[in-house]
Chain A
Amino acid sequence: MVFEQEQEEVTPGAVHGYRLSTVVPSSVTGEVDYALADADLAFKLHYLRGVYYYPPGDVARGLATKVLKDPMFPWLDDYFPVAGRVRRAEKDAEAAADGAPRRPYIKCNDCGVRIVEAKCDRDMDEWLRDDAPDRLRQLCYDKVLGPELFFSPLLYVQITNFKCGGLALGFSWAHLIGDVPSAVTCFNKWAQILSGKKPEATVLTPLNKPLQGQSPAAAPRSVKQVGPIEDHWLVPAGRDMACYSFHVSETVLKKLQQQQGRHAAAAGTFELVSALVWQTVAKIRGGDVDTVTVVRTGAAARSGKSLANEMTVGYVASAGSSPAKTDVAELAALLTKNVVDETAAVAAFQGDVLVYGGANLTLVDMEQVDVYALEIKGLRPVHVEYGMDGVGEEGAVLVQPDADGRGRLVTAVLPRDEIDSLRAALGSALQVA
């Protein structure tokens, strides 16, 4: 039986040599089921893809796979729902008269998390400099839930070793199980265990319950209804989507802030950066980006549960004029003040929806998420980028802090043929004045 050999010609410089294995919780979880909240189910068609790059050196050299894997066993004891699998409720439990698919839940059967080991014959610096669109997809195992939910892991961790000794960690996280802050906290806890520290306790109570309220008749404006989705939880966008990351330096941010003029001091960095991208995308598309969906971390509203989907979802409509012709400052002001919150309506809606890129271009605020805290044995990542899979055609823009915290890293998930135009259009705006 063949394994561990290159099956076909390897494109030079591509990531290859994939080896899959599984990590399980170190102790028996028992017969536990994890109920999914309505808010969780609203995000089930999306997958977070985050890559952390670690520089070559002595520390990275000492990070054999075993060293990275061993702390995952106790880590999964705390996060046992992440090691479970999606099942649908038994027939008699949900007497859904309309024949709708039975409510999914997570069976905490300790099935585990998939670990992928891969190699790349290029230097990490070269890889980063190349700025290739969709490089995220090579470093994060791009599987989704389904077609067999029974056997689909909720989390994949890809460990890619570069020729120079640098290391990339790619996390593929099913949005269903938790939102961006939940995911990042979860990964940070693993790194803390690896470094020998005892992380904070994981809070998984109170248990999720289905909402009792009335489902709105139509999908809220922030999202798009799709489906009905059976067991393959991915809505293929009509066009090929790709992730492209670019850096917004501190200088550019300052310039944007100065340009606010009469809207002075109103908008924060997220609003400014995403307004810039909104305007650019509107220009590329020639209009028709009048409404945007805004998804924010909303730290104040969080319940403290370790696994939850508690990001706020809302929309902003540009009043009258086309965003392509509106000032960045004005758009930023709209984003600050005119967001119509639809979080509850989105959660209550019973149909299957696409939140990111479904109805509108989606702007995702990751400013308060501490992505650079994933330190492995004291080694801080030199670069972190977060993208998303399962994004609809309208696209999504994720704004996160950069390495030193003063600039911003933006990942745009757009149809592949719009990426070049975006690059070109942004080029001038991102130049230092």
Chain B
Amino acid sequence: MGSSAAHQLKQLKPLYQHVVNNFVAVLAAPLAVAAVVNAARVGPDELLGRLQALRAVHVFLAVFVAAAAATLYVMLRPRSVYLVDYACFRTRPNCRVPFATFLEHAKLVTFVEGASIDERSVRFMTRLLERSGLGEETCLPPAHHYIPPYRNMEASRAEVELVIFSAIDDLLAKTGISPNAIDILVVNCSLFAPIPSFTDMIIHRYGMRPDIRNVHLSGMGCSAGLISVGLAKNFLQVAPKGAHALVVSTETITPNYYVGKERAMLLPNCLFRMGGAAVLLSTSRARARFRLARVVRTLTGAQDSAYRCVFQEEDGEGHRGINLSKDLMTIAGDALKANITAIGPLVLPASEQLLFALSFIARRVVNRHVKPYLPDFRTAFEHFCIHAGGRAVIDELQRSLGLSDQDVEASRMALHRFGNTSSSSVWYELAYIEAKGRMRRGDRVWMIGFGSGFKCNSAAWECIAPARTAEGPWAESISRYPVDIPEVLKH
């Protein structure tokens, strides 16, 4: 097609969108006009006569049935769930790990008895770090500042307490809510599941009520944050009206330092960093800041390749680590497609859905080689929080969704400043967008999480009120962002 034709099409697009998205109005308007014209033609006296001819019972029934249907519809609708506020763990300078320190420690661990990591592994990790998109301010727990790192339970618990207690303290201060007003507690942490659970730790520390509903989700991967939100949403449907649910997402790094030399298992050492977030959800709209529109979960674990994609196992020498398969990107792409297919119809405006359906039909019926239409999700969302799994993941998603650099800026900057904080990374990204002052009332946010399984989960939020204060994990660093991240950070 000529470029002028394409240009004309582009100009027609907004008109097309208005027409299709307001289809009902577009249809109803001429009908209403026709009805008014018709009524005018019939004449007011004639109309009155016809009305009086109607029997009272019929009128009553008509009104009653309509009212009953409407009431039933309203009652059976799921309750709206709102986000009252959220707080991310604010990293401490005494947990900071610059690249040089990380690599020096890895080098020194090669001398430790029992560790298999060797020179080649250290060089490999150097190359990984240089291309990872991480910055020099990411944090590791205090136990990992030792050579060799502590990986025992006591150190792991210390990290957990540091991260989640400070996040929850911040959240309680922000929302002004008291711990015994919390009815539901959901915590997710994949790689560390002590007895008693994290939820018991929190209940013990904050003195929560004995009838609180608590669940700890472990082993659910990096997308578990959105799974927890989904679970809390379901709990809130059956809890008393106005109940509060506290959702805590974190990942414990301490027990998971890999000391072997399998390359596929060294990557998590380089990318995973300390982080956590605490989120307060409620069915009461009072003081709420976001409304949870949708949670869509997609699992592809039925396929072998997806199942084995992110796999925790022991390597040939018995060192435990997380094995990332080479086709991670392809599998992530497929999982994303599955999730888009599920969430698209729920969030996309009719105009995009129609185009997608037409393109789908064209591919099936007319010609296989017609390019599939990529729905423009920017018509459905203003902000995107893509799990900062790694530079490659963010690049791949940007490409798959056709997003601009500014759309994925939050993800890239969160990766740079905090590293891959697993399930809480989407919250750090939301905090970035708010810290930059880009959130407005009515803005819609799409959070996408990926994780082992292979899962792709989405949550769609709508903003009711932007952040009131500048407090948060970005408070000290936001003025330095956005940062230009070089392809290779030469070391």
Contact = CB atoms under 8 A, between A and B. Distances in A.
B443 interface: no
B105 interface: yes
Contact of A111 (B93, B100, B259): B100
A319 B280 CA distance: 86
B148 interface: yes
Nearest to B144: A21
A2 B149 CA distance: 11
A304 B124 CA distance: 44
Interface string A105-139: 00001111000000000000000000000000000
A2 B135 CA distance: 31
A303 to B, nearest CB: 29
A151 B107 contact: yes
Interface in A1-16: 1-4
A24 B98 contact: yes
B100 A85 contact: yes
Contacts of B491: 109
B60 interface: no
Interface stretch (B110-118, B176-184, B226-234, B426-434): B110-118
B471 interface: no
A22 interface: yes
Contacts of B114: 1-3
Contacts of B99: 109
Nearest to B145: A21
A70 B94 contact: yes
A187 interface: no
Contacts of A23: 94, 145
Contact of B96 (A1, A3, A26): A26
A28 interface: yes
A28 B145 contact: no
A110 B94 contact: no
A1 B98 contact: no
A28 B93 CA distance: 10
Contacts of B93: 26-27, 73-74
Given A21-B146, A21-B147, A28 B112 contact: no
A22 B101 contact: yes
Interface in B110-157: 112-115, 135-137, 145-148, 150-151
A151 B137 contact: no
Contacts of B160: none
B94 A22 contact: no
A109 B99 CA distance: 8
A202 B151 CA distance: 38
Contacts of B29: none
For the residues of A in contact with B, the DSSP-based class is: loop
Given A1-B259, A151-B108, A24 B146 contact: no
B146 A20 contact: yes
Interface residues of A, number: 24
Contact of B113 (A2, A24, A28, A74): A2
B94 A73 contact: yes
B109 to A, nearest CB: 9
Contacts of A69: 94
A162 B147 CA distance: 22
A22 B148 contact: no
A3 B114 CA distance: 9
A109 B145 contact: no
A19 interface: yes
Given A21-B147, A28-B98, A111 B136 contact: no
B98 A110 contact: yes
A20 B137 CA distance: 21
Given A21-B146, A28-B137, A151-B107, A109 B94 contact: no
A94 to B, nearest CB: 20
A8 B105 CA distance: 24
B97 interface: yes
A4 B146 CA distance: 11
Nearest to B319: A1
Contacts of B100: 85, 109-112
Contact of B105 (A4, A22, A70): A22
B104 interface: yes
Contact of A112 (B101, B113, B151, B259): B101
B259 A20 contact: no
B112 A1 contact: yes
Contacts of A1: 112, 114-115, 148, 151, 259, 319
Nearest to B116: A1
Interface string B376-403: 0000000000000000000000000000
Given A26-B94, A73-B93, A73-B94, A20 B101 contact: no
Interface string B455-489: 00000000000000000000000000000000000
Max chain B C-beta neighbours (<10 A), residue from A3, A27, A70, A111: A3
A390 B99 CA distance: 31
Contact of B148 (A3, A24, A110): A3
A70 B145 CA distance: 13
A112 B104 CA distance: 10
A3 B112 contact: yes
A151 B122 CA distance: 12
Interface in A290-346: none
B99 to A, nearest CB: 7
Contacts of A151: 104, 107-108
A111 B101 CA distance: 5
Contacts of A3: 112, 114, 148, 150
B140 to A, nearest CB: 11
Nearest to A115: B145
Contacts of A110: 98, 100-101, 136
A69 B135 CA distance: 23
B107 A19 contact: no
Interface string A343-378: 000000000000000000000000000000000000
Given A109-B100, A151-B107, A22 B145 contact: yes
A394 B135 CA distance: 49
A110 B103 CA distance: 12
Nearest to A109: B100
Contacts of B259: 1
A151 B107 CA distance: 8
Interface string B77-109: 000000000000000011011111100110110
Nearest to A30: B136
Nearest to B152: A4
Contacts of A4: 150
Contacts of A109: 98-100, 491
B257 to A, nearest CB: 9
Contacts of B137: 27-28
A111 B98 contact: yes
Max chain B C-beta neighbours (<10 A), residue from A23, A24, A69, A74: A24
Contacts of A28: 98, 135-137
B481 to A, nearest CB: 13
Contacts of B96: 24, 26, 73
A4 B112 CA distance: 11
Interface string A42-70: 00000000000000000000000000011
A130 B491 CA distance: 48
Max chain B C-beta neighbours (<10 A), residue from A19, A22, A26, A109: A22
Nearest to B115: A1
Contacts of A70: 94
B447 to A, nearest CB: 29
A24 B101 contact: yes
13 contacts: A1-B151, A1-B259, A19-B146, A21-B145, A24-B96, A24-B98, A24-B101, A26-B96, A27-B137, A69-B94, A73-B93, A74-B93, A111-B101
List 6 tightest A-B contacts by C-beta distance, closest first: A26-B93, A111-B100, A1-B114, A109-B100, A110-B98, A21-B146
Given A27-B93, A111-B100, A112-B104, 8 more contacts: A1-B259, A2-B113, A20-B147, A28-B98, A73-B93, A73-B96, A109-B491, A110-B101
